[in-house]
Amino acid sequence: MSRTWPALFALPAVLAAGNVYVVDYEYQADVCVYVVDYEYQADLSAYVVDYEYQAEGEDCLWYFVDYEYQGDVAVFYVDYEYQADLCVHFVDYEYQAEWERGSKWQGRLH
């Protein structure tokens, strides 16, 4: 999976959790994320918003930023589920965004 996938997916928009910055290397990340195809596979259903203020203080609403200092959380996309701290499913509508099951990351992504 390309590391620029989120930018192609929904810019202006990632990854969960208020302002999200996508890093190039795992050691730079706060959380490793695996993107799943279906909601039932996810820990978190995330919706990518168009404006920064929409994601403020929200785990399930993500706004992708261009610079690390702008981000609330740094994420790294992994290629396999077993490498992930968090499995995320991106949804089409804001009302679908929610935690699917309890996670140690709940409330910590913003």
Which tokens hold the place of 10? Answer: 């929904």
Contacts of 3 (CB under 8 A, 6+ apart): 22, 24, 77
State the DSSP H helix or E strand holding residue 29, giving kind and residue range, or none if neither.
none
Show me where the domains of the chain are located. 5-99
Confidence of residue 109 (pLDDT cuts 50, 70, 90): low
> Alpha-carbon distance 34 to 32, whole Å?
7
The confidence score (pLDDT) of residue 107 equals 65
Q: Is the pLDDT confidence value at 56 over 70?
A: yes
The confidence score (pLDDT) of residue 13 equals 35
Express each pLDDT in 5-42 by its tens digit.
Answer: 444 343 333 334 689 999 999 999 999 999 999 999 99
Express each pLDDT in 83-108 by its tens digit.
Answer: 999 999 999 999 999 998 766 666 66
pTM of the model: 0.78
